[in-house]
Chain A
Amino acid sequence: MTLAIAVGFLAAVGTWLVVRGGAVRLILGFILLGHAANLIIISAGGAFRREAPLVDGQLLAENAADPLPQAFVLTAIVITFGVTVYLLSLVARTAKQSTKVEDESIGRIEGQAEEEGRSS
């Protein structure tokens, strides 16, 4: 239940942030959405199963935690982390360039050319 509420909350806030627009909100929103997805996977393993799967070489079938979702989530976190870092750098770069470039009217010319091509 706690997990379900947490997933719902994270997904709701994440979606809201993404839809609101703005670079930083967008990135924060995706981080939250990623957390929501990760929690879904964790809950897929069964949140009530918490015991260590192996104790002194003995398999505890009852309530043994499922290690597979945890491995999934670990992988997913690493991937999301990498993509988020790249997205941050891209946003920083487009933000920096858009002011600098428009001063030199470089972006504008190219933007116009593209628009002209699209509308014809």
Chain B
Amino acid sequence: MNIDVAFLSTWALPLVFLGPLIAAVITFVLGASAVSRLIGLLVPLGVFAVSIALVIATMDGQVVVSQIAGWPGGVAIAFVGDLFSALMLGVSSLLVFTSMVFSYAAGLGIDRWFVPAVLVMTGGVYGAYVTADLFNLFVMVEVALLPSYILMSRRGTLTALRAARLYLIVNLTASTLFLAGLGAVYGVTGTVNMAALAGLGVLPVVGVATGVVVIALSLKAALVPTHSWLPATYPYTSPAVTALFSGLLTKIGVYALVRIISLVYEPGQLVTVIVVIACVASMVIGVLGALGEGTIRGVLTFHMISQVGYILVGVVLAGAVGLAAVVFYLIHHTIVKTSLFLTGGTVEHEEGTGIIKRLGGLARAHPVASLAFLLAALSLTGIPPFSGFWAKLGVLNAAADAGSVLVFAAALIVSVGTLGSMLKLGSGVFWGTPKGMREEEDEETPSDVTVGPETVGATGVAIDVATAVEAPPVTRWRPLLVIPGLALALISLGIGLYPEWLLALSDTAGQSLSEPTAYVTAVLGGGS
């Protein structure tokens, strides 16, 4: 197909980062108006279009490079679009779009900070996907995090503020560590260009210096043993914001880990063993934690930890096969997890609580949302006609290829745990005894609970409180809350039914990740 590569490299790649930032300034000036909300929807669509063009341009293993300011390769900060970046851009912008629709329906669009903050955050995330410079990656991550601190605390409730404080402290720790690691990498290699670092991990000093960066990133990705901050923070902000965070922020950590580990280290190094152990521990601990949680988002957040283990284990298993599994799993996971968070968020918004004990039997009154949950839950578990099946198959395949009994067994057994906690959510929230049949009634009518003295940003909360008080449980849920989650669940089903194209794409992406010669020559060589 005719994709103008020169256009992509000179305009599209830098715009993926700059566009959302410019749009953020515009929407901030415009305030909370319909125009800024529209811009908030158009920007992810634009990025999605760019990502499709990038996928088409890179699906044969080609790499699109933009050397910023025209400096020669190796000196310039390069923005790179290879197939992995392109796919990540596509899936991220898709979920930003659906989460925006959900957020507007949930009433978050009234907050004048919401759209600009999301735009800046997504700009940082997209930037992190395309940059080929470690220090630039640090800056991009910070650009994504600063607005996330704002989004985290905008709910205004005390628990949300406390969670925001913890979240900020954890990320500050990770950033400081990242910075120290960067210093070490620069000290021993004299460069922070990722392409120039390729394969240098075999030298012990470089391996250790990069290891500091890897530890900092695994803290951001919430890989065990650095996971415990995640369930203590994510469930306490607004549901829509949790969905955005889960699909974007932890995924930067995961993306950067995949990129750096596959680029810098060689297979068979000590880091391989460490990553495998951390991933298996994540799978097991995440799923066990999920079984013990009592709120919808609590369960889902613990699942993220488990799934991060599934995603990353392929990085160090079986070379290209494992990396292909990583790419596929990452895409599948982002779609399905966001779908679950959005459907769970719908329940929270419409029923006024996310506590499983207080819910039940919602499927009778709300079949569509329950269907969306069912589809996404089955996909997450890895039942055949869904994308989750192919994702898990990829991981098992890679484990078998590498002859790793531990990973193979863990991946299978943890699936049972996933099924168990999804059953708990399903029977506790959507099927089973309806809420009215139970003794517990809303003895603590939350009419003024959430409207604290400084809840400027609590509009979403105010709305769901209003509906929870006025409406009996049989009211129809707002369709715009239900549709985003359903759409993503259907996409997962679609990928599951016709997986060939995505499998082929992730195979190519896995190939070029495991043998990054094209990436390295594109970044270091003259460029276009």
Question: A101 contacts B452, CB within 8 Å?
Answer: yes
Q: Looking at the complex, which one of A36, A80, A106 makes contact with B449 (CB distance below 8 Å)?
A: A106
Q: A86-B149, A87-B172, A120-B357 are in contact. Are A41 and B158 (CB under 8 A)?
A: no
* Cα–Cα, bound, A26→B165 (Å): 11
Query: A33, A76, A80, A107: which has the most chain B beta carbons within 10 Å?
Result: A76
Q: Given A83-B172, A117-B298, are A41 and B453 neighbors across the interface (CB < 8 Å)?
A: no
Q: Nearest-CB distance from B226 to chain A (Å)?
A: 16
Whether B293 sits at the interface, judged by CB under 8 Å, is: yes
- Given A40-B183, A120-B355, the answer on whether A114 and B142 have CB atoms closer than 8 Å is no
Q: Report yes or no: B161 in contact with A90, Cβ–Cβ below 8 A.
A: yes
Q: Chain B residues with Cβ under 8 A from A12's Cβ?
A: none
A107-B172 contact, Cβ under 8 Å, with A37-B179, A82-B146, A117-B298? no
Chain A residue at minimum C-beta to C-beta distance from B358: A117
> With A36-B180, A106-B452 as given contacts, are A113 and B355 in contact (CB-CB < 8 Å)?
yes
The contact string, 1 if C-beta is below 8 Å from chain A, for chain B 115-151, is 0000000000000000000010011001000100100
Are B158 and A98 closer than 8 Å at their CB atoms?
yes
B235 to chain A, nearest CB (A): 8
Q: Does B176 contact A (CB under 8 A)?
A: yes
Chain B residue contacts of A26, Cβ below 8 A = 169
Minimum distance in angstroms from B242 CB to a CB of chain A: 14
- Pairwise interchain contact B179-A76, C-beta atoms closer than 8 A: yes
Centre residue among B153, B172, B294, B448 by max chain A CB count within 10 A = B172
The answer on a CB contact under 8 Å between A75 and B139 is: yes
**A37-69 near B? 1/0 per residue, CB < 8 Å:** 110111111000000000000000000000011
Contacts of B169 in A (CB 8 A): 26, 30, 87
Beyond A83-B172, A118-B294, is A37–B183 a contact (Cβ under 8 Å)?
A: yes
**B186 interface neighbour in A18, A34, A41, A90, Cβ under 8 Å:** A41
Asked if A2 is an interface residue, CB under 8 A from chain B, the answer is no
Choose one: B135, B357, B449; the contact of A117 (CB below 8 Å): B357
Nearest residue (CB) in A for B164 is A90
A94–B452 Cα distance when bound, in Å, is 12
Contact B454 A41 (CB under 8 A): no
5 pairs from A and B in contact (CB 8 Å cutoff): A83-B149, A97-B158, A97-B161, A101-B158, A117-B294
Q: Which residue numbers of A lie inside 8 Å of B, CB to CB?
A: 18, 26, 30, 33-34, 36-38, 40-45, 68-69, 72, 75-76, 79-80, 82-83, 86-87, 90-91, 93-94, 97-98, 100-101, 106-107, 109-111, 113-114, 116-120
13 more A-B residue pairs beyond the given contacts A68-B186, A83-B168, with a C-beta to C-beta distance below 8 A: A30-B169, A30-B172, A30-B176, A33-B176, A40-B184, A44-B184, A69-B186, A72-B186, A83-B142, A83-B175, A87-B168, A97-B452, A97-B454
